[in-house]
Amino acid sequence: MSAIPLEVASATDVGLVRKINEDYLFVMPEQGIVALADGMGGHLAGEVAAEVAVEVAVEELRHAQRFADMDTMQCLMHIGEAVERANQSVYTLAKSKDELTGMGTTLVLALFHDSRIFYAHVGDSRIYLLRNGKLMQLTRDHSLIQEVLDHGIFPNRGEAKEAGVGENVLTRSLGFTLEINVDVNEASVCEDDLFLFCSDGLTGPVKENTIQQLMGREELPLQSRARALVQAAKEGGGRDNISLVLARPILS
């Protein structure tokens, strides 16, 4: 088994309201690794949490990836452990400095390996797959609004929001407890698949049908599509930092 190289485009923008960009992303196209985090906390603390989480998770995954014969279970185990190690690092750092107390971050981490994507996430940053013109969300938000929807308390997101359920209230994030539950999964990778990794600064103001339409503009290079997605988020209000990675696996 070996890594799948990627054609990638990335974009990050502070948005129209925030003064600091607390998102952080990192891509290693030749190694098939993508990571993205959306930090939270006091002045600069969220920025620190996001960067530490991504850097630690990627380094842990790169270390594991040196074993070229990893099978499916090993890939899932290593990617989950990488996120757990990132959580421990953010938690420990937050406890060591008063100015970083209470910082935390979301994280999505993926490894493209032997015709599959292995991915792990905590929080409400997302991974999407565009296949044959259809957009599918691979991750499931760790948020209060998603929880009340899962329990059938409200029939849809709109009614939950009208009732006062906040979209940005997370039920799980890195840095607040030493132990964390990490969602780990896998999916097949096919020719012409296009993956989107993004913070909620994109998915909050931009509807999924618009994301699908902009991702599917085959006449445009990936970087132009990435910029178009950021612009759509800003046109929708741009109240949060906006970060995304478009990744197309190179299978041949």
Q: What is the pLDDT of residue 1?
A: 53
Give the separation between CA 104 and CA 102, rounded to whole angstroms: 7
Helix (H/G/I), strand (E/B), else coil: 92: helix
Q: Are 7 and 248 in contact (CB under 8 A)?
A: yes
- 183 contacts: CB under 8 Å, gap ≥ 6: 120, 121, 122, 139, 140, 142
Q: Are 145 and 166 in contact (CB under 8 A)?
A: yes
Give the separation between CA 210 and CA 216, rounded to whole angstroms: 10
Q: What is the pLDDT of residue 64?
A: 87
Report the 10 Å Cβ neighbour count for 192.
11
pLDDT (tens digit, 0 to 9) for every residue of the chain, 252 residues total? 589 999 999 999 999 999 999 999 999 999 999 999 999 987 689 999 999 999 999 999 999 888 667 889 999 999 999 999 999 999 999 999 999 999 999 999 999 999 999 999 999 999 999 999 999 999 999 988 888 877 788 787 777 777 767 777 899 999 999 999 999 999 999 999 999 999 999 999 999 999 999 999 999 999 999 999 999 999 999 999 999 999 999 997
Q: What is the pLDDT of residue 110?
A: 98
The residue extents of the domains of the chain are 6-139+172-249
Going by C-alpha positions, the residue among 58, 104, 101 that lies closest to residue 81 is 58
6-139+172-249 in CATH: which number? 3.60.40.10
Helix (H/G/I), strand (E/B), else coil: 192: coil
- 22 contacts: CB under 8 Å, gap ≥ 6: 38, 39, 40, 41, 46, 47, 49, 50, 241
Helix (H/G/I), strand (E/B), else coil: 121: strand
Q: What is the DSSP string of 124-152?
A: S-EEEEEETTEEEE-S---BHHHHHHHTT
Q: What is the pLDDT of residue 145?
A: 86
Give the separation between CA 190 and CA 187, rounded to whole angstroms: 10
Going by C-alpha positions, the residue among 188, 187, 193, 186 that lies closest to residue 131 is 193
Going by C-alpha positions, the residue among 5, 1, 2 that lies closest to residue 248 is 5
Q: What is the pLDDT of residue 68?
A: 61
Give the separation between CA 181 and CA 176, rounded to whole angstroms: 12
Give the separation between CA 98 and CA 96, rounded to whole angstroms: 7
Counting beta carbons within 10 angstroms of the beta carbon of residue 16, is it exposed (0 to 12), middle (13 to 18) or buried (19 or more)?
Answer: middle
Going by C-alpha positions, the residue among 170, 190, 188 that lies closest to residue 180 is 170
Q: What is the pLDDT of residue 78?
A: 95
